[in-house]
Copies of this chain bind each other. A is one copy, B any other.
Amino acid sequence: MNLKPLGNRVVVEPIEEEDITAGGIVLPETAKEKPQKGNVISVGPGERNEKGDRILMDIKKGDVVLYAKYAGTEIKVSGKKLLILRESDVLAIVE
């Protein structure tokens, strides 16, 4: 299943925290923090302005991005949790 986000949206695959802490303790699902970092796997064509022209996107496929904890909409695609975010909800690109 291939996703083509609309407008200024991007599809992000969250990067889960390590399951094992530095001290070797295995963290249960509920003790892990919600990830705020992810890989951009698909990028929309950009929002249209009032004249119908597209506004360019600053994010590209392959970028690693940071986003706010409860930004975007979670969807499940073939068992994988993905996040669809507006570019305006992406805080920064990690280099």
* Nearest opposing residue in chain B for A33, CB measure: B76
Quickly give the copy total for this chain. 7
In the complex with contacts A36-B75, A75-B36, A3-B49 CB distance below 8 A: no
CA distance A68 to B72 in the complex (A): 9
A66–B56 CB distance below 8 A: no
A53–chain B nearest beta-carbon distance, Å: 7
A94 part of interface (Cβ distance < 8 Å): yes
Number of A residues whose C-beta is below 8 Å from B? 37
Also in contact, A50 and B52, with CB within 8 A (given A3-B92, A92-B84): no
Residues of B within 8 A of A7 (CB): 58, 88
B5 contacts A92, C-beta separation under 8 Å: yes
